[in-house]
Structure 1
Amino acid sequence: MIYLTYDEYNSMGGICDLTAFNRNIDRACGIIDNATHNRIEGMTDVPHRAKALCRDLVEYLARYSTSDMVVSSRSQSAGGVSESESYVTKTDTELQADIDNMIADYLMAETDDNGTPLLYRGAMS
């Protein structure tokens, strides 16, 4: 299920264009569904923090899934014709840790309509 429209994304300060948003929103929502065992899908209203997490995941995925290297700094000079770029690379473990931290930051205190924490992993009674 998609938890955030492009219009909502823009109103929340999103920085990706429509193409990047469309390319990453399904994956972002899938990550959230996996972490919450699809609890948001059955809710009357999608919590604002879940939408904010979607926004941040879309931007994170857009930044790191298109290339293994991300330009972290760039410099130029005109007179002596000098140009340099610095790159940041992240391992799969680092990427997953970043995503897990975002999920915890946004959804740790959120509950579904029945009061079950969205990130609850135990047995249901």
Structure 2
Amino acid sequence: MSHSITSVLSQIRTLQTQVGQVAPPADMPRSNAIQGLSEGQNINAPSFSQTLQGAIKGVNEAQQKSGQLAAAFERGEAGADLAKVMVASQQSQLAFRATVEVRNRLVQAYQDVMNMPL
């Protein structure tokens, strides 16, 4: 379970670096990181919902690729060997499991916030 969380966190960090969002060093206080920005500098970081939608799109694409490779293998097409089909299938399963785990954590966090006393 801990490995899957680490995997999801590493995927999120990879997506952040691909988008160009740079996180401040861990030892730098948050206020100093914000003060380090100049007045005219804009941050074009994606929102949480955009990041989540991108991750879901990635899972969907992995599942579609896996299905296409499996269908090509069943038809006997050249270039669709069993190893590629199995790797694509495992990648799509892992991506889906990670997505479900993130969803479960979000639902649990929502329930925790809703159950907080006022």
What is the TM-score with the length of structure 2 in the denominator?
0.31
Bigger Rg, which one: 2
Please state which structure has a larger fraction of its residues in helix.
2
What is the TM-score with the length of structure 1 in the denominator?
0.29
Please state which structure has a larger fraction of its residues in strand.
1
